[in-house]
Structure 1
């Protein structure tokens, strides 16, 4: 397949964008031998912190009894996280200390995802594995620390030894439960987000490059018309990706709340 693609490129044919093209050069490479540095992903992560902080501080600056439209939006967004992700998952007794954490997780992931729909930026931060792994590790670390804080060393037993299982099955199930909770859980938590964001980004790149090729590189009215049709057809894909950006932020924060609830209620299981 690769040789066919190269042959098509040599003959002036269409060459589809690759995953490597989503990795832009670092803005400030400080460890060139490792291929790392300060890049667009890091810049957008910092920008997300600024955007979220600025919006909510600006929205509640007056703290009016009758809220303005912006204050209403900010309060509704906070209320959504507080009630849907906090109280409904963690319970009335335990949710309040975790609202700031869930709020930060949800809106940080949401804004970084939405960057993929902003002209000029057009790349979700979490379409790369590194940022997704970092977010999942933060959540995993919070889950583990909370579990040990509440249950001590017994926490490992609570999450790896299923209750009500015959003892002769434990040598088989305990390693599976250990891998599932301590290894596979953070991997799936991160890769689910990264895979969806990357797929959407690749689809948009493919539609854009295909339309550009048909309009600029191919001669004839039919090719130009096909390129225009591709552009028109990419509009529903754009809105579908927009929905997935919001949905994935919700799913990531929802799973975070479920993991925290699992640590709190581990004794009951």
Structure 2
């Protein structure tokens, strides 16, 4: 993505007579870390003079040669949680003398899955995933403590808050019912990524005019993956765009050990950035 933006910047700087608006090239700062650098950049005023912002992500789930955008919600909020269960350890042969945090953790794993199925609007997508469970040291000892790490995803702030509230209640309630103490530390990550509908419609038209009607992915659905570009869209109208690269050269999904980028998609992304700038100038006069 850095190469794409650098190439677009190079072409636009070499054709300044064709470029009417001022253009800011913003390289995402620590976008894979939590907290990311987006909020800090916004606080420093990088978007104060910006009228519209566009971001491009090469996207393996989308077929190479396709370009897609959502008119509204496109990517999920991404939050992380750590749940600690404090029980009472002891010998595995005498469970009646213990408060087993591993057993309690197993009840909580099942319980928090009910948040999605029973506490949320079924028309609002959400995900609760436990990615790590840790506790104990050997086969016949019940430990004092168990730990769980996971992530939640949601497309609206209302859903996001309800997930947190109900998870907190389940963790504390289930733990207390067995005589243990349950604590949940919740780390709020990027908010839902929501495209400005005027700017996303502009992107759609640019894609159709520049690449042809068949290139535009008309049924692109939101994804529960997350992206800190969402912070920029909270501060400035704009749109996030997927440029497809799925196919034989890029057959494995993002973050897979065998993931590889299809470099044939890079020129498409560069051209899209260039056309967004050139046509925006004509659109705004």
Question: TM-score, length-normalised on structure 2?
Answer: 0.22
Which structure has more helix as a fraction of its residues? 1
Question: TM-score, length-normalised on structure 1?
Answer: 0.23
Which structure has more strand as a fraction of its residues? 2
More RCO (CA 8 Å, sep 6+):
2
